[in-house]
Structure 1
Amino acid sequence: MGYTIQTSVSGEFDEIVDVTIAALEDEGFGVLCDIDVQATLEEKLGENFQRYRILGACNPALAHEGMGEEIELGALLPCNVIVYETDDGDVVVSAVDPQQLVGIADNEALDSIATEVSDRFERTLSAVDDEFAAASEA
């Protein structure tokens, strides 16, 4: 069983990252951290790696509600969304599947929150798809 939901688009990497962040913001998420994996691996290990960013996304209201039900839930936050370039030049935007993530807690009170986050991530990925489908048609 997969642990992410994702889409693949064609476009300029940094623009896709920007559109992804804007789409997350439209769904009520802030990006608490933005890790440039390529730059980090180059700096720390001297290794080359594909363009790869980890965006730590958090919806404060949903996080608050979830931690009210399960105080240890903070260990699973923020929800990560990754953006990376494939060997064929496409860019994948992939979000952790909140239902898989929250399933670890085995607390039914979190099910509706996981569904809400999942729905918001699906809309985020659809917005990215729509943005770059429109760009490729122009």
Structure 2
Amino acid sequence: MKYYYSKTVDYSFEDTIEKLKAELKPEGFGIVTEMDVQEKFHEKLDVYFRPYKILGACNPKFAYEALQEDDKLGTMLPCNFIVQRLDNEKTEIAAINPVATMQAIDNPKLNSFATDVGDILKRVLDKV
């Protein structure tokens, strides 16, 4: 089982980010963190890296329910997405697969929760 879901699109890098944010919103997710990897690598290492952003998406309802079940689960939150520009002028979006992530936790109650969240994340990717 892959630890992520992914999709390649023909949109520009910035348009892909905007479309992703727009599709997350109706599903109850908001972006709580945004890291510009290209900018950070240039700033800290003085190297060039392709356009690459890590977006931390959170659905407060799901986060609350998960933390009620396991208070250490916050180490795996938020649900991360990446958006990166590929060499072929296409843009890739990838999201964490929560089902794969939850396999590291011995709590069967979290399995159905992870499946529900994973279904939403896949649906968002399909819509972008």
User: Fold match, TM over 0.5?
Assistant: yes
Give the corresponding residue for 1:27.
27
After superposition, the C-alpha distances for 1:70-124 in whole angstroms (9 at most, x for unaligned) are 1110010011000001111111100000101111112101011101110110110
Q: Which runs of 4+ in 1 moved over 6 A?
A: none
Give the corresponding residue for 2:53.
53
1:11 Cα deviation after fit: 1.5
Provide structure 2 residue ranges, at least 5 long, that are not aligned to the other structure.
Answer: none
Give the corresponding residue for 2:14.
14
Taking the aligned partners of 1:58 and 1:103, their CA distance within structure 2 comes to 20
More helix by share: 1
1:26 Cα deviation after fit: 1.7
1:123 to 2:123 alignment:
yes
Taking the aligned partners of 2:105 and 2:45, their CA distance within structure 1 comes to 35
Number of residue pairs aligned between Structure 1 and Structure 2:
128
1:34 Cα deviation after fit: 0.7
Provide structure 1 residue ranges, at least 5 long, that are not aligned to the other structure.
Answer: 129-138
| Paired residues of 2:12 and 2:90 also in contact (CA < 8 A) | no
Residue identity in the other structure for 2:73: L
After superposition, the C-alpha distances for 1:9-29 in whole angstroms (9 at most, x for unaligned) are 011110110000111112111
Give the corresponding residue for 2:102.
102
Taking the aligned partners of 2:25 and 2:113, their CA distance within structure 1 comes to 18
Tell me the TM-score normalized by structure 2: 0.97
